[in-house]
């Protein structure tokens, strides 16, 4: 393979990486916001994302196969449904698994364990519900509209699907940024993240803000689920695990707790992953296959944790008594 | 008080005797009632190990009698039960290992089975012809080398623990949870894909015909009454009991030692522990490596017992299962870890399997009730497929309603006693 061949693959690879990266970024925001407010990793987040993906597939399959509605509207409806279900689930998880422990001031380990429990429960519950109606591996219905191509460079094209994902994810991220930086609610969220006790003394209803944070994280995860299902065309109840782990890596890479950091981390990780997935097999003669790209993301996580645990945009914190 | 304890000791001994008699005379098969009788017999071990109700003589009699006499005899008659007890003991050792990491030191390890895989794959590779693929020739090693290989497995697993722990243990605990979660997945992907460029793990097919230790002993003991495979099962049972005994001693000694106290101090308050002069990373690394070494030893034994390993044996469910065991039994509680291991293993191996068989019978019967044919029950209803759901419910429910587990760790009450004396602050959870 010559250099020109390798270069020819580059624009498509970068575009794919950006698409994937924005999906990761959308999930990563959920991890990052909850971490910012509560200081713990929401292990159930990957399953909330998975539920969003499943809901979107079901909506597309049962409501829209053979429908004349414009595909963009179909996706919008699926997004609203997925976001509603995922948001509700995230709030429910907070109520069941986190709030009682927070009130009781349970040891540090307890919320981690309950979150893992919720995550396992969701996986199997979804598998159960799905398999009642047949196979639990669900294909996303193919929509010819999204397979149309727009020319990108002289030789390359980009699909409508990728453009749709870029636009939706980009809009979500910008909206969220506005919400957190420029509204009263955002100010309250930032206040709770900075100092929960002081915020509550200033009249912020901390429990409500924590609930809203979970709700926003859940909505974002639901939307990310739709985008993921659209991009990869297939979801099952165990889909959430790997993207969840990668989104967490993205959040850590950007600096966990930081919203621009999660976006930046997601995009960097997505692009790196697709680059490795494309070029590693070429340069190593298939010795290192594409299946190693999951390990690669994990390697990045370890490297960041060794050298810069605060991430690219995170601020360093000192443990207080 | 003393007489009450004596009465209760006698009660436990007679309970055990009745259960042994019932199990050996009436319920000798493997049906539903037989399984139930077996579980009731097993329960005698739980009663007998409760220090607060049973005197030492009764404890020794019941535990020794059931483990060394009754189980082998039942097992010779029906190797299924021996297999169950062996599984319980293997998981009990794993649970004791994880108990050091999660229970004592408070480090949440979600990829514990990865260390188990390290040990299992080590013996699988050097104990079968797979070793020739990597080193050229000279394999399999003679089966006698198994014991030496187990020691190497322990070292390898501990090394893996140190390598994984080193970057992460400096950070907050939830990073560790996430990284171990990923590491479990990495080990599985590696096991699946390291069949090229050099064939190390033989990929998804796994490694077969792994050498078994002490086969010549089983062969020598074989007789028409007791076949060779039964002796082999008994040998594994003995080995596993030995491992469990060793693990128990190590756990108890560590719990009472300086390092054990340091672990508990770190678990309760990292900053206070550091202020008292405990080196955090060093102490956590020791916990992590010790826990991993338990898993490494059991991995080697597991590979030999199954004579087969494949990536599927080391999935996330296993890690979570072991975590569920210690959360169920009580974090930091040694007796709790073993109780949890027994409960979850028996639930998985016997109760769920029995329910699944029952459901299948119902389905094949084809009865109809109110127009619903039982044959139409989807196979997804099978209770044996609900491992994750059950583990999830165990984790959440225990943490919410009984955070100290079924058999709370004894150290907590020790602290409470100090509070009564007025020498310490009330900080029992």
Q: Is A125 in CB contact (< 8 Å) with chain B?
A: yes
Q: Which two structure tokens, joined as six digits, stand for B32?
A: 């539903």
For the ranges B53-62, B121-130, B221-230, B392-401, the lowest mean pLDDT is seen at B221-230
CA A125/CA B172 separation, integer angstroms: 31
Residue B345 resides in a domain: no
CA B7/CA A318 separation, integer angstroms: 57
CA B309/CA B298 separation, integer angstroms: 13
Task: Please tell me which residue, B7 or B273, carries the higher pLDDT value.
Answer: B273
Q: Which residues contact A275 (CB under 8 A, 6 or more apart)?
A: A13, A14, A17
CA distance, residue B425 to nearest chain A CA (Å): 17
Instruction: Report pLDDT for B227.
Output: 81
Q: How far is CA B14 from the centre of its chain?
A: 29
B4 and B113 inside one domain = no
Are A22 and A169 within 8 A, CB to CB?
yes
Task: Identify the segments of chain A with pLDDT beneath 50.
Answer: 320
B83 and B220 inside one domain = yes
Residue contact B395–A291, C-beta within 8 A? no
Residue B43 resides in a domain: yes
Task: Please tell me which residue, B279 or B362, carries the higher pLDDT value.
Answer: B279
Confidence of residue B423 (pLDDT cuts 50, 70, 90): very low
Q: Is B396 in CB contact (< 8 Å) with chain A?
A: yes
- Listed by number, the residues of chain B in 293-332 with a beta carbon closer than 8 Å to a beta carbon of chain A are 316, 320, 323, 327, 331
Confidence of residue B303 (pLDDT cuts 50, 70, 90): very high
Residue contact A298–B392, C-beta within 8 A? no
Mutate to test the interface with A, among B162, B167, B174 (most CBs of A within 10 A): B174
Residue contact B186–A309, C-beta within 8 A? no
B39-66: buried (b, 16+ CB within 10 Å) or exposed (e) per residue?
bbbbebbbbbbeeebbbeebbebbbebb
- Taking contacts as CB-CB distances below 8 angstroms, the residues of chain A near B271 are 319, 321
CA distance, residue B391 to nearest chain A CA (Å): 7
Query: Which domains does chain A possess?
Result: 3-138+160-307 (1.10.3470)
CA A86/CA B234 separation, integer angstroms: 52
B191 and B228 inside one domain = yes
- Listed by number, the residues of chain A in 135-164 with a beta carbon closer than 8 Å to a beta carbon of chain B are 136
The residue among A193, A207, A136, A168 whose CA lies nearest residue A23 is A168
B45 and B183 inside one domain = no
The residue among B73, B82, B123, B118 whose CA lies nearest residue B97 is B118
Q: Average pLDDT, stretch B113-128?
A: 92
B53 and B183 inside one domain = no
Of B277, B310, B328, at which residue does a domain stop?
Answer: B328
A117-131: buried (b, 16+ CB within 10 Å) or exposed (e) per residue?
bbbbbbbbbbbbebb
Instruction: Report pLDDT for B416.
Output: 47
Residue contact B179–A117, C-beta within 8 A? no
Number of folded domains in chain B?
A: 2
At residue A138, the 3 state secondary structure works out as strand
Residue contact A119–B392, C-beta within 8 A? yes
Q: Is A14 in CB contact (< 8 Å) with chain B?
A: no
Q: How far is CA B290 from the centre of its chain?
A: 15
Cα nearest neighbour of A115 on chain B? B396
Neighbour count for residue B317 (Cβ, 10 Å): 16
- Listed by number, the residues of chain B in 89-118 with a beta carbon closer than 8 Å to a beta carbon of chain A are 102, 106, 108, 110
Cα nearest neighbour of B110 on chain A? A116
Under 8 Å CB pairs connecting chains A and B tally to: 134
CA B95/CA B101 separation, integer angstroms: 10
Mutate to test the interface with B, among A116, A128, A294 (most CBs of B within 10 A): A116
Are B116 and B97 within 8 A, CB to CB?
no
Cα nearest neighbour of A296 on chain B? B186
pLDDT, mean over chain B: 85
Supply the range of the domain harboring residue B36.
1-77
Q: Could you tell me the sign of the dihedral formed by the alpha carbons of B279, B284, B286, B287, in that order? A: positive
Instruction: Report pLDDT for B415.
Output: 52
In the predicted structure, residue B262 carries a pLDDT above the cut 90: yes
CA distance, residue A152 to nearest chain B CA (Å): 35
Residue B333 resides in a domain: no
- Listed by number, the residues of chain A in 15-54 with a beta carbon closer than 8 Å to a beta carbon of chain B are 40-41, 43
In the predicted structure, residue B34 carries a pLDDT above the cut 50: yes
CA B15/CA B9 separation, integer angstroms: 10
Instruction: Report pLDDT for B426.
Output: 43
B167 and B283 inside one domain = yes
Question: Looking at the DSSP assignment, which residues form a beta bridge with residue B207?
Answer: B309
- Taking contacts as CB-CB distances below 8 angstroms, the residues of chain A near B197 are 287
Of B36, B59, B77, at which residue does a domain stop?
Answer: B77
For the segment B387-406, what is each residue's pLDDT rounded down to a tens digit? 788 889 888 999 899 888 88
The residue among B376, B353, B372, B350 whose CA lies nearest residue B363 is B376
Counted residue by residue, chain A has a size of: 321
CA distance, residue B101 to nearest chain A CA (Å): 12
Q: Which residues contact A308 (CB under 8 A, 6 or more apart)?
A: none
CA B428/CA B414 separation, integer angstroms: 9
Nearest to B106 among A41, A109, A295 (CB): A109
Cα nearest neighbour of A306 on chain B? B167
Instruction: Report pLDDT for B130.
Output: 84
Percent of all residues in chain B with a pLDDT value above 90, rounded to a whole number:
33
Question: Looking at the DSSP assignment, which residues form a beta bridge with residue A149?
Answer: A159
CA A247/CA B82 separation, integer angstroms: 45
For the segment B213-251, what is each residue's pLDDT rounded down to a tens digit? 888 888 888 787 778 888 888 999 999 999 999 999 999
Residue contact A295–B190, C-beta within 8 A? yes
Are B260 and B106 within 8 A, CB to CB?
no
B182 and B323 inside one domain = yes
B215 and B161 inside one domain = yes
Mutate to test the interface with B, among A40, A50, A108, A128 (most CBs of B within 10 A): A108
- Listed by number, the residues of chain B in 359-378 with a beta carbon closer than 8 Å to a beta carbon of chain A are 378
Neighbour count for residue A185 (Cβ, 10 Å): 14
Instruction: Report pLDDT for B425.
Output: 46
B99-112: buried (b, 16+ CB within 10 Å) or exposed (e) per residue?
bbbbbbbbbbbbbb
- Taking contacts as CB-CB distances below 8 angstroms, the residues of chain A near B178 are 41, 43, 245, 248, 301
Mutate to test the interface with B, among A99, A102, A117, A295 (most CBs of B within 10 A): A117
Q: Which two structure tokens, joined as six digits, stand for A145?
A: 């509209």
Mutate to test the interface with A, among B106, B181, B325 (most CBs of A within 10 A): B181
Instruction: Report pLDDT for A307.
Output: 84
- Taking contacts as CB-CB distances below 8 angstroms, the residues of chain A near B378 are 131-132
CA distance, residue A79 to nearest chain B CA (Å): 27
B91 and B25 inside one domain = no
Instruction: Report pLDDT for A314.
Output: 74
Confidence of residue B81 (pLDDT cuts 50, 70, 90): confident
**What Å distances lie between residue B260 and A115, B154, B157, B283, CA to CA?**
28, 20, 21, 9
Q: Is A107 in CB contact (< 8 Å) with chain B?
A: yes
Question: What is the Cβ-side half-sphere exposure of residue A227, based on CA atoms within 13 angstroms?
Answer: 30
B24 and B116 inside one domain = no
Residue B123 resides in a domain: yes
Instruction: Report pLDDT for A151.
Output: 81
CA A137/CA B384 separation, integer angstroms: 20
Instruction: Report pLDDT for A178.
Output: 93
Residue B95 resides in a domain: yes
Are B112 and B314 within 8 A, CB to CB?
no
B22 and B159 inside one domain = no
- Taking contacts as CB-CB distances below 8 angstroms, the residues of chain B near A40 are 174
Of B47, B77, B107, at which residue does a domain stop?
Answer: B77
Cα nearest neighbour of B188 on chain A? A295
Q: Is A103 in CB contact (< 8 Å) with chain B?
A: no
Mutate to test the interface with A, among B388, B397, B428 (most CBs of A within 10 A): B388
B40 and B94 inside one domain = no
CA A73/CA B128 separation, integer angstroms: 59
Residue B33 resides in a domain: yes
- Three-state SS string across A147-173, please? HCEEECCCCCEEEHHHHHHHHHHHHHH
Only one residue has tokens 């089975």, namely B113
Q: Is A294 in CB contact (< 8 Å) with chain B?
A: yes
Q: Is A190 in CB contact (< 8 Å) with chain B?
A: no
Residue B171 resides in a domain: yes
Residue contact B271–A319, C-beta within 8 A? yes
Residue B289 resides in a domain: yes
Q: Could you tell me the sign of the dihedral formed by the alpha carbons of A94, A97, A100, A106, in that order? A: negative
């Amino acid at each position: 393979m010559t250099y020109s061949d390798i270069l020819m693959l580059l624009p498509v690879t970068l575009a794919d990486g950006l698409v994937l990266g924005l999906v990761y970024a959308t999930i990563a925001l959920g991890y990052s916001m909850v971490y910012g407010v509560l200081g713990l990793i929401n292990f159930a987040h990957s399953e909330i994302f998975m539920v969003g993906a499943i809901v979107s597939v079901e909506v597309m399959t049962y409501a829209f196969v053979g429908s004349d509605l414009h595909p963009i509207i179909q996706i919008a409806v699926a997004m609203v449904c997925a976001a509603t279900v995922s948001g509700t689930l995230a709030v429910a998880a907070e109520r069941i698994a986190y709030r009682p422990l927070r009130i009781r001031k349970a040891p540090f380990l307890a919320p981690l364990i309950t979150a893992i429990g919720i995550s396992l429960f969701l996986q199997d519950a979804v598998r159960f519900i799905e398999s009642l109606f047949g196979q639990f591996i669900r294909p996303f219905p193919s929509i010819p509209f999204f397979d149309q191509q727009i020319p990108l460079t002289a030789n390359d094209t980009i699909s409508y699907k990728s453009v749709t994902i870029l636009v939706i994810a980009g809009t979500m991220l910008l909206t969220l940024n506005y919400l957190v930086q420029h509204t009263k609610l955002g100010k309250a969220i930032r206040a709770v993240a900075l100092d929960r006790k002081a915020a509550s003394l200033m009249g912020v209803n901390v429990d409500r803000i924590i609930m809203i944070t979970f709700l926003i994280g859940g909505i974002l995860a639901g939307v990310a689920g739709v985008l993921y299902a659209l991009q990869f065309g297939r979801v099952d109840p165990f889909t959430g695990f790997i993207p969840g782990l990668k989104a967490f890596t993205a959040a850590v890479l950007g600096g966990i707790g930081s919203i621009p950091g999660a976006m930046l981390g997601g995009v960097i990780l997505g692009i790196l992953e697709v680059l490795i997935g494309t070029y590693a097999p070429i340069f190593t003669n298939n010795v290192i296959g594409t299946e190693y790209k999951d390990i690669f993301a994990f390697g990045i996580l370890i490297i960041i944790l060794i050298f810069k645990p605060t991430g690219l945009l995170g601020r360093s914190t000192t443990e207080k008594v | 008080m003393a007489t009450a304890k004596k009465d209760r000791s006698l009660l436990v001994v007679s309970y055990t005797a009745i259960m042994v008699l019932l199990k050996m005379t009436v319920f000798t098969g493997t049906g539903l009632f037989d399984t139930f009788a077996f579980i009731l017999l097993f329960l005698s071990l739980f009663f007998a190990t409760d220090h607060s109700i049973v005197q030492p003589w009764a404890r020794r009699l019941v535990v020794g009698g059931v483990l060394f006499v009754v189980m082998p005899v039942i097992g010779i008659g029906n190797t299924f039960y021996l297999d169950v007890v062996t599984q319980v003991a293997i998981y009990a050792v794993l649970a004791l290992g994880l108990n050091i990491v999660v229970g004592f030191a408070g480090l949440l390890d979600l990829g514990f089975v990865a260390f188990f895989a390290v040990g299992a794959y080590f013996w699988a590779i050097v104990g079968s012809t797979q070793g020739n693929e990597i080193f050229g020739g000279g394999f399999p090693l003679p089966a006698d080398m198994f014991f030496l290989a187990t020691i190497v497995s322990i070292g390898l697993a501990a090394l893996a623990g140190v390598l994984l722990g080193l970057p992460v243990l400096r950070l907050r605990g939830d990073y560790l949870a996430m990284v171990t979660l990923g590491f479990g997945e990495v080990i599985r992907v590696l096991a699946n894909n390291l069949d090229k460029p050099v064939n190390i793990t033989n990929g998804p097919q796994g490694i077969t015909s792994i050498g078994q230790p002490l086969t010549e002993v089983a062969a020598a003991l074989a007789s028409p009454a007791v076949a060779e495979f039964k002796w082999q099962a008994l040998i594994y049972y003995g080995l596993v009991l030995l491992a469990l005994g060793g693990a128990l001693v190590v756990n108890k000694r560590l719990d009472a030692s300086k390092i054990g106290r340091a672990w508990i101090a770190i678990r309760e308050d990292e900053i206070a522990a550091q202020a008292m002069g405990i080196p955090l990373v060093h102490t956590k690394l020791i916990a992590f490596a010790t826990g991993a070494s338990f898993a490494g030893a059991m991995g080697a034994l597991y590979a030999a017992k199954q004579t087969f390993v494949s990536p599927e044996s080391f999935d996330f469910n296993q890690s979570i299962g072991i975590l569920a065991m210690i959360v169920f039994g009580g974090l930091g509680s040694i007796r709790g870890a073993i109780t949890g291991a027994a409960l979850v293993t028996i639930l998985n191996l016997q109760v769920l399997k029995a329910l699944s068989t029952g459901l299948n019978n119902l389905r094949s019967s084809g009865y109809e009730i109110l127009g619903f044919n039982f044959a139409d029950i989807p196979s997804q209803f099978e209770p044996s497929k609900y491992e994750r759901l059950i583990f999830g419910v165990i984790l959440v429910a225990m943490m919410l309603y009984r955070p100290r587990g079924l058999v709370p760790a004894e150290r907590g009450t020790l602290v409470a006693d100090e509070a009564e004396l007025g020498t310490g602050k009330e900080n029992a959870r």
